[in-house]
Every structure is written in C-alpha cells, then in structure tokens.
Amino acid sequence: MLPLHSHPSGRHFLQIPGPTNVPDRVLRAIDHPTIDHRGPEFGELGKAVLAGMKKIFQTEADVIIYPASGTGAWEAALVNTMSPGNKVLMAETGHFATLWKRMAERLGLQVEFQAGDWRHGADPEQIRKRLAADDGREIKAVCVVHNETATGVISDVAAVRKAIDAAGHPALLMVDTISSLGSIDYRHDEWGADVTVAGSQKGMMLPPGLSFNAVSAKALEASKTAALPRSYWDWKEMLAINPRGYFPYTPATNLLYGLYEALEMLLGEGLENVFARHRRHGEATRRAVRAWGLEILCQKPEEYSPALTAVLMPEGHSADAFRKTVLTHYDMSLGQGLSKLADKVFRIGHLGDFNDLTLCGTLSGVEMGLKQAGVPHNAGGVQAALDYLAQTSRPRPDQAQAR
C-alpha cells in the first residue's frame, strides 16, 4: 500500500560542520560500477587523485590516501613517526585536540597538553617558550588542529612553524586539517608542516570514508626509525606502489571516483576563489549572529573560522532544544556542542558545496528557529547577512569571463 514512507519535500540542509552536503556531481560520480583496483583502468584514476590532492595540500610532498575516517589518518601520522614513550606537545584548542591527545596517550606517547579555554587557537609564543626550555630535545612533535571544529577557531599554523624554528628545535610539526582542507587556505610546504592530516567529508565535499596524510621529507626520514607498531597505516607500503596509481590493499574505489570529481570542482573554481568564498560566508554569518545579539564563541577576530561559526546560547536556554526545533520545523541539522560545550553552543557549518543562497536559507532557518524556540534575540540577523552579501557580491567564477 502506498505511501510506505512520508517524504519531506525539498532538500535537507546538512549545516553541521561535517559531513557536509555532497554535490550532485560527486554523488553521480560515485554511482558507477566498482572496477578492478588492480586492473589497467584503475592506475590512471589513482595517479590523478594523488596528483590532485597535492594541489589541495599545496605541496610537492607525498600524499597518502586511506580508506578511513579522519581519526585513522591521525593515527597514521603518529604511528609512522613516533616511538613508544616519545614526548609530544599538543595545544588544547577544543574537543578534537582533546581526542587527538587521548589517542596519542593510548598509543603510548607522553603528551604535554598546553591548556586552553576552547575559545582561542594554539599560542605560538607558549610553544616557542616550551621548546626553548627543552634542552634535551625530548619533544619529538608539536601537534595542532588548524580549524578546531568544536569551537570555530583557527590556529595560525605558519606562526607555529616560526615558533618551532625560533626555538631552533627539531620537533616535527603535525597539523589536523580535517575540517579546513578545501575550505580554508592551507599550505603544507610553505608553512613547513611535516605531517598534515585531512578527511573527505568536510571541505572536500565527499561522503565520509577517505582520509589523508601529506608527508614531508623530514617526516618520511623519521618514519625509518620510528618504532611504534604499524601495519595497515604504514606509509612505506603505500609509497612503494602509489607512483603507479595503485594501493597495497583494496582502496575505497567508488569514493575515489567522487574524489576525482570533487578535485575537478575545487580546482576548476580555483583554490583562491574557494577560500574567498568561505571567508565571505563566515563574515556574513557573524554579522547575522551579532545582529541577533548572540555571542560568537571565538574571541579573537583573526582566529574566526571561515568554515563554521559556534554560537553561545543565552544563559538558561538549551542549544539542543533549539537545534531540535530547527530540525523538526525546517529540516535543517545544525552542529551540537561537544563535550564541555554540550547544550551550550550550536554550530553553523558554512563550508563545502555552498553559495550565497544556501547561506541565506541556513541563516533563515536559524532565525526562525530562535523565534520558534523562544530564544531571546533581536530580529534582523538575516537582513544583516543579506546586506553584506549584496554589497560584496561578484559574478560567480564560472561567469566572470562571460559576456
């Protein structure tokens, strides 16, 4: 008997800061028969996506692709470079930095965690001081999260590199760009990162299931003597076969079709345009939040994330009840507050496959939800965003040349 299920009309708005909305082009690319990953056709695909990812990381260095979530690529970064008992310095920027720390400890590393208030990025000066005081050169790596997805705060990775160099310290620099790669400017080579960790489901616009390491020559050298046990994550086997476009075990073939398409989209738009688009949508979102009279979690304007905005709920109001209202009334998912921010913040994802009108729809859903849920706020947030978007509007990159 029809209908079996009721269907909400229109698209669901997946405005969590990852996974993000997957473009139709990418979905269609994935929807093809799986091919022999050791056959002649596959090698070309493998070579193309590995080369394309180097452009995204802005690197000439090796890039590794895992069939795994971002967490797997975190583990790969550590087990390929570290030995049991090694000391690593990490910055407490929020929930994701805390999870990476927990993983490092579980793997048998000694973590020094520089305390943070979850409203600021990593502090390069504090890192420099700690490294300068490390006479025995016991710290083997400095690990920072570029875009802390729990808070909407970015860390200045180039400044962290300068801090390590200023201390004359040999520690490796490892960076989590899981929610920034493909949406926020990130330069593996120029900023001197040794291992950069990324994932498929945020700025890269793919479904979850792929993750990445970009690996500097120095990190590769460290991997030769690193003694943590590893097998699945071993860079060596990957790098031995990747130049021919193949993988040592079955890759996520269909996700690689999608990656090829996503690379075409991002590189076709131009990375500079992609980054500018995200910065502009971040600014429009913050203008809306301020007009509502709500507080942005990130405290320093130079650390505002172009990919998401975390918004503090007014005292006595539940962020989760508000999010539930938005979901049930407007079919939009907003990001929840994580661990110590649970129920205190909601997060608006404005990254990935996103344009001015997607942002307008997103902010409209937030403003209507605030009203519906009885959250004290001023009207006019959406209007403030519209004004900014209209003032700063330019032809789409694909239309700029058109007459």
Binding residues for substrate: 347
Tell me whether residue 70 or residue 121 sits nearer to ligand PLP (CB atom). 70
Q: What 8-state DSSP symbol labels residue 341?
A: G
Beta carbon of residue 179, minimum distance to ligand PLP (angstroms, whole number) = 3
DSSP helix/strand/coil, 64: strand
Beta carbon of residue 259, minimum distance to ligand PLP (angstroms, whole number) = 15
CB-side exposure of 106: number of CA atoms within 13 Å?
8
Residue count, binding to ligand PLP (CB under 6 A)? 12
Beta carbon of residue 402, minimum distance to ligand PLP (angstroms, whole number) = 36
Q: How far apart are the first and last CA of the chain?
A: 53
- For 112-131, b where at least 16 C-beta lie within 10 A, e where not — what string? ebbebebbbbbbbeebbebb
- The candidate with the shortest Cα–Cα distance to 130, out of 115, 118, 145, is 115
Sole window of 65-73, 283-291, 325-333, 353-361 interacting with ligand PLP (rule: CB under 6 A)? 65-73
Is residue 306 near ligand PLP by the rule CB under 6 A? no
User: Are the CB atoms for 104 and 136 separated by under 8 Å?
Assistant: no
Distance CA 207, CA 256 (A): 11
Tell me whether residue 160 or residue 375 sits nearer to ligand PLP (CB atom). 160
Tell me whether residue 208 or residue 397 sits nearer to ligand PLP (CB atom). 208
Tell me whether residue 98 or residue 362 sits nearer to ligand PLP (CB atom). 98
User: Are the CB atoms for 172 and 140 separated by under 8 Å?
Assistant: yes
Is residue 71 near ligand PLP by the rule CB under 6 A? yes
Beta carbon of residue 30, minimum distance to ligand PLP (angstroms, whole number) = 18
Tell me whether residue 87 or residue 95 sits nearer to ligand PLP (CB atom). 95
Is residue 80 near ligand PLP by the rule CB under 6 A? no
Is residue 96 near ligand PLP by the rule CB under 6 A? yes
- The candidate with the shortest Cα–Cα distance to 215, out of 223, 226, 207, is 223
Q: Which of 123, 176, 356, 367 binds ligand PLP (CB under 6 A)?
A: 176
Distance CA 295, CA 26 (A): 36
The site string for ligand PLP over 15-44 (x = CB under 6 A, - otherwise) reads: ---x--------------------------
User: Are the CB atoms for 366 and 293 separated by under 8 Å?
Assistant: no
CA dihedral for 354, 59, 246, 179, sign (positive or negative): negative
Six token digits for residue 25:
């082009």
Beta carbon of residue 142, minimum distance to ligand PLP (angstroms, whole number) = 16
Pairing of strands 345-349, 172-176: unpaired
Cis ω on the peptide bond leading into residue 3 (within 30° of 0)?
yes
Six token digits for residue 367:
């403003």
Tell me whether residue 76 or residue 382 sits nearer to ligand PLP (CB atom). 76
Concatenate the DSSP letters of all residues of 117-132 into one string.
-SSS---HHHHHHHHH
The site string for ligand PLP over 197-236 (x = CB under 6 A, - otherwise) reads: --x--------x----------------------------
Concatenate the DSSP letters of all residues of 31-60 into one string.
SS----TTSHHHHHHHHHHHHHHHHHHT-S
The site string for ligand PLP over 241-270 (x = CB under 6 A, - otherwise) reads: ------------------------------
Q: Which of 145, 154, 252, 294 binds ligand PLP (CB under 6 A)?
A: 145
Sole window of 68-76, 152-160, 162-170, 335-343 interacting with ligand PLP (rule: CB under 6 A)? 68-76
- The candidate with the shortest Cα–Cα distance to 151, out of 306, 341, 367, 381, is 341
Is residue 178 near ligand PLP by the rule CB under 6 A? yes
Is residue 354 near ligand PLP by the rule CB under 6 A? no
Tell me whether residue 70 or residue 365 sits nearer to ligand PLP (CB atom). 70
Distance CA 211, CA 201 (A): 9
Distance CA 192, CA 177 (A): 14
Beta carbon of residue 70, minimum distance to ligand PLP (angstroms, whole number) = 3
Tell me whether residue 52 or residue 208 sits nearer to ligand PLP (CB atom). 208
Is residue 346 near ligand PLP by the rule CB under 6 A? no
Would you tell me which residues interact with ligand PLP (CB under 6 A)?
A: 18, 69-71, 96, 145, 149, 176, 178-179, 199, 208
